[in-house]
Amino acid sequence: MLQHPKVKGPSVGLLGFSKGGNLCLSMASFLKGITATVLINACVANMIAPLRYKDKIIPNLGNDPGKHAITESGLLNFMDIWNNPLEEPNHQSLIPLEKAQGPFLLTVGMDDHNWKSEFYAHIASERLQAHGKDRPQIIYYLGGPFPGLIDMFGDGGLNESRANLLAC
């Protein structure tokens, strides 16, 4: 990214949500030149598929798809399918976020049905502080899973969440 002509450098910041936030967390942990990371409803463990970087492989967090639920509105709720990344053998799936150079801003949708976003944000905060890093800022918002995205695409109704996120 730093090589792109529109990037003024000398560093970049990352913004990602859900699995994209998970990948941003991995990039911030392993790559140089990333000085800030904003995660929206992301998990602190590697999700879905093993992550390979150089000679390192982080396995994906185990899951049990049979634990999914269906909400009253007919949407799938995946919150309970994911194993706890703090328990063995799932601990190996944790992304080494303490290696990141810059600060984190974590946003947590209280109605997220994909991940246990609040739980993962607390894990991130505790791990960073345990390694002598600054406590990340955590912003909680009503609604979910992603603040302001529906409004950004013209569906309305989430202006307040979007304004709160953009004010950070």
Site of tokens 């984190």: 104
Q: Express each pLDDT in 85-132 by its tens digit.
A: 998 889 999 999 999 988 999 988 877 777 888 899 999 999 999 999
Q: Which pLDDT belongs to residue 160? A: 43
pLDDT of residue 156: 39
Q: Report the pLDDT value the prediction gives residue 74, as an integer from 0 to 100.
A: 77
Sign of CA dihedral 13, 17, 20, 21: positive
What local confidence, expressed as pLDDT, does residue 154 receive?
A: 39
Q: Residue 104 domain-assigned?
A: yes
The verdict on residue 125 lying in a domain is: yes
Tell me, yes or no, whether 3 lies in a domain. no
Torsion angle (degrees, nearest 10) of CA 47, 53, 59, 64: 20
Q: How many domains does the chain have?
A: 1
* CATH number for position 54: 3.40.50.1820
Residue ranges in the chain modelled with pLDDT below 50:
147-168
Q: Does residue 6 sit within a domain? A: no
pLDDT score at 145:
53
Q: What is the Cα–Cα distance from 56 to 69, expressed in whole angstroms? A: 34
Within-domain flag for 150: no
pLDDT computed for residue 144 by the predictor: 57
Q: Which domain holds residue 20?
A: 12-145+158-166
Give the H or E element holding residue 14.
Answer: strand 12-17
H/E element holding 53?
strand 51-53
Is 61 inside any structural domain? Answer: yes
In a domain, 79, yes or no: yes
pLDDT of residue 143: 60
